[in-house]
Amino acid sequence: MSNTNPSLGALQTITPHLICAGAKNAIEFYRRAFGAELLTQMEGPDGRVLHSALKIGNSQFYVVDAYPEWGSTDPQTLGGSPVTIHLYVPDVDAVFQRAVDAGAKVLMELQDTFWGDRYGKLADPFGHEWSLATPIKQMSKDEIEAAAKKMFGGQSNG
């Protein structure tokens, strides 16, 4: 089985599929906040987005409108989402600020972490959570476990 769509190119093995109330606005937010490139978009007869594909860096993701009549609901309707989308970027400070300026809510301020990333968390205006990071220090598994143990004052089960 091929993971290539002639109109989209190669897809990664796992492709997030984000359901949003107001997918057109979500697409524009992802373009402004994360520099996403819109690859394709298809609308239904009522103007809602049936399918769209966007790309950030080397990864694609899909964004569609909620279709409650088909059992397809968005995080805001569900009261939140337990899923976080992780985004590695070359300059997390710049991308984090750009996302906040575009309307994202800060869930965790940027900080240098014990595992070697500069890391923070955001919620987009559509209820999806994003963690953003830039590696700042290469660390071995043993170094990360020791740093976790020091931070949490005890055992770490890496």
Asked if residue 7 is part of any domain, the answer here is: no
Asked if residue 5 is part of any domain, the answer here is: no
Give the per-residue pLDDT at 1: 41
Phi-psi region of 116 (alpha: psi -120 to 50; beta: other; left: phi over 0): left
More confident residue, 7 or 11: 11
Q: Give me the domain span that covers residue 63.
A: 14-152
What CA–CA distance (Å, rounded) separates 17 from 93? 26
pTM of the entire structure?
0.86
- Bridge partners (DSSP) listed for residue 40: 53
Strands 117-123 and 129-135: antiparallel
Helix (H) or strand (E) holding 18: strand 17-20
Is there a contact between 64 and 18 (Cβ–Cβ < 8 Å)?
Answer: yes
For residue 5, is pLDDT > 80? no
Encoded tokens for 32: 């402004």
pLDDT tens digits, one per residue of 91-146: 999 999 999 999 999 999 999 999 999 999 999 999 999 999 999 999 999 999 99
For residue 10, is pLDDT > 80? no
Q: What is the DSSP string of 44-111?
A: -TTS-EEEEEEEETTEEEEEEE-BGGGTB--HHHHT--S-EEEEE-S-HHHHHHHHHHHTPEEEEEEE
Write the CATH number for 37: 3.10.180.10
Structural domains of the chain, count:
1
For residue 7, is pLDDT > 60? no
pLDDT tens digits, one per residue of 19-57: 999 999 999 999 999 999 999 999 999 999 999 999 999
Asked if residue 9 is part of any domain, the answer here is: no
Asked if residue 6 is part of any domain, the answer here is: no
Give the per-residue pLDDT at 11: 73
Asked if residue 37 is part of any domain, the answer here is: yes
Asked if residue 142 is part of any domain, the answer here is: yes
Asked if residue 101 is part of any domain, the answer here is: yes
Which has the closest alpha carbon to 17: 72, 79, 68, 78? 72
Asked if residue 59 is part of any domain, the answer here is: yes
